[in-house]
A and B are shown apart, each in its own frame.
Chain A
Amino acid sequence: DVKVTQSSRYLVKRTGEKVFLECVQDMDHENMFWYRQDPGLGLRLIYFSYDVKMKEKGDIPEGYSVSREKKERFSLILESASTNQTSMYLCASGSTGARNYGYTFGSGTRLTVV
């Protein structure tokens, strides 16, 4: 069964800490994405990558960075965590092409910054 795996289901970090969220996919997808989801705001795109070492800003990149050194792995980095980054973080991957059968999402990481 193909899937997207996020390293942690729940995470609690202190303000100012550097936080790494890891995502691994086993579908050989070119595209990978990081979203955050907050009540009433839906899914908001933070960053995405369409190839190894390539990255593009999404709609809310401030306070985040990403790394994609290998095709299967896409990391989200909070350089200095703040309480307003408390959220559910979702990783997704998808193949390139007109008919891509959509994204596959991970189960999410619920991050609490205290």
Chain B
Amino acid sequence: LAKTTQPISMDSYEGQEVNITCSHNNIATNDYITWYQQFPSQGPRFIIQGYKTKVTNEVASLFIPADRKSSTLSLPRVSLSDTAVYYCLVGVLTGGGNKLTFGTGTQLKVEL
């Protein structure tokens, strides 16, 4: 199972771009990389998922280098409401019971 490493916390200001990097050196060939956002007292919410290169949606971009040993979640022009914990998750759900394990996440704090 791919173990992930993220910074414990990051600080930013409104309007700035925030990049959170996740290391996953032992990622497997079939693994996807998924990022979640969690607000206090709520369950995590899916943000974006990718396999290689770049993925963009209305919320964020995900950059994955060719070796796939890391990934970077990019949040453009953050606002106060982006203050949350961000989790990187690596793996794939297959029938037969493999599990996906969350790391401790990155606490992003956005200030005025």
> A residues engaging B (CB < 8 A)?
4, 30-31, 33, 35, 40-45, 48, 50-51, 54, 56, 58-59, 88, 90, 92, 94-108, 110
CA of A48 to CA of B41, assembled, Å: 22
Q: Is B81 an interface residue (CB 8 A)?
A: no
Of the listed stretches B12-20, B67-75, B86-94, name the one at the interface; the rest are far from the partner chain. Answer: B86-94
Residues of B within 8 Å of A108, CB to CB, are 41-43
> B residues engaging A (CB < 8 A)?
30, 32, 34, 36, 41-46, 49, 51, 87, 89, 92-97, 99-105
Contacts A45-B101, A98-B32 given; does A107 touch B93 at CB 8 Å: no
Expressed in whole angstroms, the minimum distance between the Cβ of B52 and any Cβ of chain A is 12
A51 engages B95 (CB within 8 Å): yes
CA of A96 to CA of B92, assembled, Å: 8
